[in-house]
Amino acid sequence: MSHNDEVHELAFSSSGHLLASASTDRTVGVWDVQTGRRVAESLRHDDLVDAVVFSPDGRLLASGSYDKTVKLWSTATWD
């Protein structure tokens, strides 16, 4: 995994294929567990990210930040 600062939390998707990380570098990392490749590059907040969780069906990833926002990301498009 590659972040520029500390990782606060990790979460696996229900399928176990994806791993999300919340970092103080203001980013959310998403990794393919089998290949180790980062699959989402530009998931950002305006302050450190301290929470990540996948929806039970794996279609959404939620991230929470000290910027007082929660963002929902589609795992199909990462928008």
Q: Does residue 48 form part of some domain?
A: yes
Answer yes or no: is 44 within a domain.
yes
Range of the domain at 56: 7-74
Decide if 1 is inside a domain: no
Alpha-carbon span 35 to 9, nearest angstrom: 20
Strands 49-54 and 60-65 turn out to be antiparallel
Q: How does DSSP classify residue 55?
A: -
Q: What is the pTM of this model?
A: 0.89
Q: What is the pLDDT of residues 15-62, one digit of tens each?
A: 999 999 999 899 999 999 999 999 998 899 999 999 999 999 999 999
Structure tokens at 71: 């963002």
Q: Where are the beta strands (DSSP E) in 1-79?
A: 7-12, 18-23, 27-32, 38-44, 49-54, 60-65, 70-74
